[in-house]
């Protein structure tokens, strides 16, 4: 089907040794036989292969064929992981929300700096797939059509919660990678409002210079 075109192979490092041998022949000879078939089929395709592993390291551990590695490694492209491209997170969220909306899921999006800060400060070991899965899961499970900070899984909230009655000194432990002061202040304000509403039984009374 990809003859005269392009075939994209994702996670090429997961090929079994047996499949690696067969695929190497396709690259070298530009021909193959269908499963159960006896006719040799010649093809002319451009091959793009992707992996999140170090294939050179896999070759050293005999997990990936060296000859296949050099066949694929003609024009290498290094794409930085999502944790090194935080500026793309908002753009990707918008794209995923548009994709979700086509599935007729009523989801308006992610608002407020605190939510964005929690997403931007996360290290994203699962890369863009993890972000997409998170947005879709939140769209399905969230009680509100707008993603709230508390809707995020626990791993996004670590270090962002303020315990009831905590002193200011308890907030002065600054991690090595720093803090987002604006996000911390907004989080504190939100928690104070929530505590005030709990204390007042949900009664909202506006008084100068106080909460609750």
Beta-carbon contacts of residue 90 (< 8 Å; ≥ 6 apart): 116
Predicted confidence (pLDDT) per residue in 82-110, tens digit: 888 878 888 888 888 888 777 655 555 55
Domain extents in the chain: 6-72, 82-158
For residue 189, the Cα-to-chain-centroid distance in whole angstroms is: 28
Class of domain 82-158: mainly alpha
Closest CA to 130 of 81, 176, 188, 168: 81
In this structure, CATH architecture of domain 6-72: 3-Layer(aba) Sandwich (3.40)
**Which residue bears the tokens 């720093």?**
178
Predicted confidence (pLDDT) per residue in 146-196, tens digit: 666 777 787 777 655 433 444 444 444 555 566 666 666 776 777 677 766
């Amino acid at each position: 089907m990809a003859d005269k075109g392009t075939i994209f192979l994702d996670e090429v490092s997961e090929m079994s040794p047996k499949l690696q041998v067969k695929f190497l022949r396709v690259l070298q000879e530009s021909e193959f036989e269908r499963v159960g078939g006896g006719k040799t089929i010649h093809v002319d395709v451009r091959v793009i292969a992707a992996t999140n592993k170090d294939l050179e390291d896999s070759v050293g551990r005999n997990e990936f064929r060296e000859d296949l590695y050099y066949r694929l490694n003609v024009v290498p492209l290094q794409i930085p992981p999502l944790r090194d491209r935080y500026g793309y997170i908002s753009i990707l969220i918008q794209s995923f929300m548009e994709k979700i909306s086509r599935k007729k899921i009523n989801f308006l999006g992610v608002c407020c700096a605190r939510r964005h800060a929690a997403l931007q400060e996360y290290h994203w070991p699962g890369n863009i797939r993890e972000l997409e899965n998170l947005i879709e899961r939140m769209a399905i499970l969230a009680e509100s059509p707008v993603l709230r900070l508390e809707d995020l899984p626990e791993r996004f909230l670590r270090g962002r919660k303020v315990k009831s009655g905590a002193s200011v000194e308890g907030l002065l432990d600054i991690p090595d990678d720093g803090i987002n002061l604006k996000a911390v202040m907004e989080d504190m304000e939100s928690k104070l409002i929530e505590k005030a509403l709990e204390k007042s039984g949900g009664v909202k009374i506006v008084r100068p210079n106080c909460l609750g």
